[in-house]
Amino acid sequence: MKESNLQPTHNQFASDNYAGICPEAMQAIHAANVGFVPSYGDDPWTERACEQLRQVFETECQVFFVFNGTAANSLALASLCRSYHSVICHELAHVETDECGAPEFFSNGTKLLHVGGPSGKFDLGEVERAITRRSDIHYPRPKVLSLTQATEVGTVYTPDEIGAASDLARHNGMRVHMDGARFANAVVSLNVAPADITWRAGVDVLCLGGAKNGMAVGEAVVFFDRNLALEFDYRCKQAGQLASKMRFISAPWIGMLESGAWLKNARHANSCAALLEKHLAAIDGISIMYPRQANSVFVEMPEAAADALRAAGWHFYSFIGSGGARFMCSWQTTEADVIMLADAVRLSSKQMR
C-alpha cells in the first residue's frame, strides 16, 4: 500500500463508523489487556459489562455481545421467529435494506414485510393492515414488529409512539424488536431514561450499537424478556459470533457506560448535526429533508452540487433518492469540520447557480 493511502482522513460525514475508537473505549481495552483470563465470555470483564447494562436499563436483562449490528439484528429476530413467521418493519429499515438477507437467512426463511410511513417511522395504520389483512395459511404469520431507534433518516420514535406500537404488537400476539445501532443518540435526543424507550414501552429485545457510538467493534443484544434468550448463546456460536477473547469486546462497554461516554459521545454527535443543520438550512438551493433529531442531516441539493462536493474530497451517502445527501456526525466530528463542510456546500451550490 502506498504511504499516501495510509494517511488518516478527517472531515468525513459518510458514516459514524468512519470515526476511530474513542479514548474511553481504548483505555478499557488496555485495562483488560492484563494476564490470562478465561475465554468465551467466562471472564470478569464480561460479567461487569452485563451488570453495567442491567444498571443502565434498571432491570435484570440478559445480555450477549456480538461483532456487528447485522449479526445482532438477524440473530435476535431469528430467536423471536419460526421460519413461517414474518417481521414487520419500515421500508427503509436496515434489516430490510442493508443486511443482505441475513435476518431471513438466520431465521431459515422468516419473511420481512415492509410498510411505509413518514420520516423513517412506520405508520401504525399500515402496520395494522399488514397484520390483519390476511389470516389464512398462505400468508407468513406476523410475529415481530421491528423498529429502528434512531431511525435510518435520523428521526426518533417518542416513548408514546413506541408504547402504541408495542400495544398493537402485543394485541396481535407479536413481539417487539428494536434496532438500536444509534440508540444512544435517541436517548439524549429525547432526554429519557433508556428504560423508558425500551422495556417500559414494551420492547422485548434491543440491539444496542457500540461501533457507531465510539467503540472499535461490537454490539450488545439485550433481552428484556429473559425467556426469549433461551439458547441464544448457541445461536451466537453457530453464527460465528462468539468471540474467544471476549473481554476485548466486552471491556469497552464498561469504559463507555461507567464513564458516561456513550451518552457524551451521542450528545456531541447530535449537537454537531444540529449545528450543521443550522448552517445548511441557510444556504440557497438546499433544503432539509427530515426533522433533524439525532446525529444526521439529510438535504436535498442539486446533483451537480453534490458531484462538486465529492470532487472536492467530501464523503457522504446519497442513497435516499436522487439529489438527497446524508451527512452523519460522530463523537469525533469537530465544530471546525462542520463549518468547513457547510462552507464547501455553500461554495458548490453557488457554483451551480
Ligand X SMILES: *Cc1c(COP(=O)(O)O)cnc(C)c1O
Q: Residue 68, interface with ligand X (CB under 6 A)?
A: yes
* Shortest-Cβ-distance residue relative to ligand X: 69
Looking at residues 226 to 265 of the shown chain, list those that interact with ligand X (rule: CB under 6 A).
none
The amino acid present at 270, given as its one-letter code, is N
Residues 6+ apart with CB under 8 A from 295: 16, 150, 154, 182, 185, 266, 269, 270, 272, 273, 328, 329, 330
Q: Considering the complex, what minimum distance in angstroms separates the CB of residue 106 from ligand X?
A: 13
Q: Which residue has the cell 424478556?
A: 225
| Closest by CA position to 142, among listed 108, 175, 119 | 175
Instruction: Single out the residue of 179, 204, 277, 337 in contact with ligand X (rule: CB under 6 A).
Output: 179
Give helix 247-259 / helix 23-32 axis angle, nearest 10°: 130
In the bound state with ligand X, the residue whose beta carbon lies nearer, of 43 and 152, is 152
- The span from the CA of 219 to the CA of 253, in Å, is 9
Answer yes or no whether residue 46 interacts with ligand X by CB under 6 A: no
Among 86, 107, 110, 148, binds ligand X (CB under 6 A): 148
**Which set of grid coordinates corresponds to residue 275?**
449545528
Residue 52 binds ligand X, judged by CB under 6 A: no
Q: Is there binding between residue 270 and ligand X (CB under 6 A)?
A: no
> Smaller CB distance to ligand X: residue 17 or 158?
17
178 neighbors 166 (Cβ within 8 angstroms): no
Q: What are phi and psi for residue 53, nearest 5 degrees?
A: -65, -35
Considering only the stretches 63-71, 127-135, 198-206, 319-327, report the one whose residues sit in contact with ligand X under the rule CB under 6 A.
63-71
Pairing of strands 85-90, 62-66: unpaired
User: Which span (24-32, 66-74, 107-115, 286-294) binds ligand X, by CB under 6 A?
Assistant: 66-74
Nearer to ligand X, 211 or 249 (CB): 211
Contact 23, 262 (CB under 8 A): no
CB of 56 to ligand X, least distance (A): 20
Q: Which is nearer to ligand X, 151 or 349 (CB)?
A: 151
φ, ψ dihedrals at 199, nearest 5°: -65, -30
**What does the binding site for ligand X look like in residue numbers (CB under 6 A)?**
68-70, 94, 148, 152, 179, 181, 211-212
